A and B are shown apart, each in its own frame.
Chain A
Amino acid sequence: MASCSIEDVLAKAERDEAEKLRSITVNKELDLEFDPGNLLAFDKNRIDTREFKDSKGEDFLRSLARDNTQLLINEIWKLPTEKVEEVIVAKLPDPTTPLPREKPAPKPKPPTKWEQFAKLKGIQKKKKNNMVWDEVHKEWKRRWGYKRANDDTKEWLIEVPQTADPNEDQFAKRNKAKKERVARNEYNRLKNIARAQKIKVPGTGLAPTAQQSKSELAQAVSIAKKSTASVGKFQENLPKEKTPRNTGKKRKFQPLIGDFSSEKQKQLDLLKIMDSKKPRLDITKAVNKQMREEDKESSQKSKKSFGKKGRKGNMSGKGKGKAGGKGKGPKGKGRKPQMKQGKR
């Protein structure tokens, strides 16, 4: 019994060893291609579609994935390791598979104002050296920047020119001019950026010009009118001034595919209003009707009166003629035809 059990145990142990090895070593027809930098393994072995369809595909896929992952991990174990914060880490080499771009390629920046001008004029960029010989200080100084060569704000003596005001501070004048140049440069740089990224910059008002045309003056007036705390809402018009509407503002329309039922409702309401505005009594029709009725009445009256005249004529004759009435029976006078209604 014991021997049997020992044999059994040994056999079991052997099987377990084989299992373990099997679990580590994987046999493949074609070797996999590895890219440990991307943790990528390429398996170019053929897949037996029957195996995929026969036994449930899930198990087949799972075993395939297990095998390939095992091989990849074996590769990773082959890499050099290092210890980072008490954790053993494998150092991945550079990835070898080229991956496509994640984001679209950057568009070329639109040229700045100067670049456009230079292209137009054909001005090439000339490489300049950074250091310039400063004669005054007798040393090499930067062309621009800190402690530059010909810095006119750093002069200790400035001659007042003949045409200048004697009380004007020439040093302050030069400093102010520099500040203005710096500010203008910054402003132009930002404008270039705004133009490149197509950002809308609000207008800074009007630049002062010597002779202004009518449209420019009108524009200046409208801007001045709007430049109040309430954006021109309570500014009254001058006498004979007309409030201009839509000065450059886009009209706003309803969205193209809005709420259809509300659109329908609005149109029906509009129709209702239009109906209510129409007069219920059509005047011309009413007048025509009235005229027709008056014509009828007048024609009936003339018939009656004619009938009376006829009877008067008969009174001298027989008495029977009394009831006869209109136009019947012998008369002395010529009978007039009965007035008929005109066909309408």
Chain B
Amino acid sequence: MRPLTDEETKTMFEKLSKYIGENIKLLIDRPDGTYCFRLHNDRVYYMSEKILKLATNISRDKLVSVGTCFGKFTKTLKFRLHITALDFLAPYAKFKVWVKPGSEQSFLYGNHVMKSGLGRITENTSQYQGVVVYSMSDVPLGFGVAAKTTQECRKVDPMSIVVFHQADIGEYIRSEDTLT
């Protein structure tokens, strides 16, 4: 386990700011304790310093996971956000998309969201903006990328994709082995 280098921190913050904008400050600077990011086996974990100090007692090869896994760095040093970060993205999300109950299931199976399944979308969403996907009862289902701006969404036909799927909570069952 080690702290992130400057370049790695920068890459990760850039990715996170696509979803939560400047609210990253609230993740770094928390009133209820010091939380930090640490890298272990190419994965970024977010944990409180208490947990970190406890985790130092476990050897590297035996340590599987600490705190919450936000995502991992690929071999080419790109940062990929995992579904396990949803708990921290959902409350701070800037752009949200609500999905109709009928196509919730489809999204949870890993499909993209189509115009016919779109319930609501925050105003002023630009194209390719990172969005958090909610069900109509305000339960966060996952996150994705807006394929169209809010205005375009109104004009476009019902069978076109409006949100590209990136991660959903169904992955907890589908990719149980690879999530840490």
Contact = CB atoms under 8 A, between A and B. Distances in A.
A344 interface: yes
Instruction: State the 7 A-B residue pairs at the shortest beta-carbon distance, nearest first.
Output: A253-B2, A260-B34, A254-B3, A267-B28, A264-B28, A260-B49, A344-B151
A268 interface: yes
B39 to A, nearest CB: 9
Given A268-B28, A268-B29, A275-B22, A257 B52 contact: yes
Contacts of A271: 13, 22, 24-25, 28
A254 B56 CA distance: 15
B125 to A, nearest CB: 11
A121 interface: no
B25 A263 contact: no
Interface string A59-77: 0000000000000000000
Interface of B: 1-3, 5-6, 9-10, 13-14, 17, 22, 24-25, 28-29, 34, 36, 38, 49, 52-53, 56, 126, 151, 154
Interface string A313-343: 0000000000000000000000000000001
A258 interface: yes
Nearest to A282: B126
30 contacts: A253-B2, A254-B3, A254-B5, A256-B1, A256-B2, A256-B38, A256-B52, A257-B49, A257-B52, A258-B3, A260-B34, A261-B34, A263-B3, A264-B28, A264-B34, A268-B25, A268-B28, A270-B6, A270-B9, A270-B10, A270-B13, A271-B13, A271-B25, A271-B28, A274-B10, A274-B14, A274-B17, A275-B22, A282-B126, A343-B154
Nearest to B53: A257
Q: Tell me whether chain B's interface is mostly helix, strand or loop, or mixed.
A: helix
Nearest to B37: A267
Which of A255, A256, A284, A343 counts the most B-chain CB atoms under 10 A from its CB? A256
Interface residues of A, number: 22
Interface string A249-281: 000011111101101101110110011000000
A285 interface: yes
